[in-house]
Structure 1
Amino acid sequence: MEYTPRYTQPFTLSEAKLLDLETITTEIARLQNSLQRLGETQDMLRAHAASVQPGEEVDPEITKAIEENETVIGSQSERISMLKMALLDKGIVAGSHYDLAPPVVAAPAAASPTEDGGVDL
């Protein structure tokens, strides 16, 4: 599958597919945390911009920060999508925890007791 990102990314989808599972899930969690913080910052910046009195101008630095954050939010959201595609390529379907399905673990085979009451492993 070929994927062309809208934003400049530090890796391609093909490179993401080469990453190990732990690296992918850790990066998704890091990016999700960053997006949460950026969202909170955006809310504060927008509230500040909205509080400007009629006739006053919004500080251009505030406006610039809001615009730059929007770009970063878009880029990081796209990166998460790419990492999820890499997980899907590995056979892992999105779920709830870090937006990942928990791994399916087979139940261990029952140990059989020995004549002396111990357990053979």
Structure 2
Amino acid sequence: MDYRPRHPQPFTLTEATQLEVPIITEEIARLQNSLSHLQRTQDELKEHITATEAGDTVLEEAYTDNSRVIASQQERIAILKMALSNKGIPYSSHYDIGSQSQGTGRSSPGAPTTHAMTERSADDRGIDL
């Protein structure tokens, strides 16, 4: 049985499980970094929304959109962690942002490279299957 996500995702649990471990962990780190930036933006948006008496619909819409993106990316991280577990590798904080070399989300010298890594789009949205 495959995991059924609540949000549209670019890959399934089955597809994620087929990826190499370094690809999975790099994507987790990239998503965690993205979430960190999104959360900072959410805090700033909330501050501005609260400070605006009449309410700014543009800011409120941005806040709502970011909330959806955050939920989707958190779910994507959960799928990738399940993929690691399916490979017999328990997820630990070792794979979190702080342990990635310079937090770039790029592979280390000598790390295996796959088609998914080399064929990313120009906007670097993550794993392409």
Normalising by the smaller structure, the TM-score range is: 0.7 to 0.9
Query: CA separation in 1, counterparts of 2:94 and 2:47?
Result: 31
2:32 is aligned to 32
Identify the match of residue 78 of structure 2 among 78, 81, 96.
Answer: 81
Query: CA separation in 2, counterparts of 1:97 and 1:66?
Result: 31
Q: How many aligned residue pairs are there?
A: 97
Query: CA separation in 2, counterparts of 1:29 and 1:73?
Result: 14
Query: CA separation in 2, counterparts of 1:67 and 1:34?
Result: 17
1:118 is aligned to none
Could you tell me which amino acid in structure 2 is paired with residue 39 of structure 1?
Q
- TM score, norm. by length of structure 1: 0.76
* 1:62-81 paired onto structure 2 within 5 Å: 62-81=59-78
* Unmatched runs of 5 consecutive residues or more in structure 1: 103-121
Larger RCO, structure (CA 8 Å, separation 6 or more): 2
> How far is 1:2 from its partner?
2.0
1:106 is aligned to none
Q: How much identity, in percent, do the aligned residues show?
A: 53
Q: CA RMSD in A?
A: 1.4
* 1:97-112 paired onto structure 2 within 5 Å: 97-99=94-96
SS of residue in 1 equivalent to 2:28: helix
> How far is 1:94 from its partner?
1.7
Larger radius of gyration: 1
* Unmatched runs of 5 consecutive residues or more in structure 2: 100-129
> How far is 1:97 from its partner?
1.9
> How far is 1:98 from its partner?
2.5
* 1:5-20 paired onto structure 2 within 5 Å: 5-20=5-20
The structure 1 segments of at least 4 consecutive aligned residues displaced by more than 3 Å after TM superposition are none
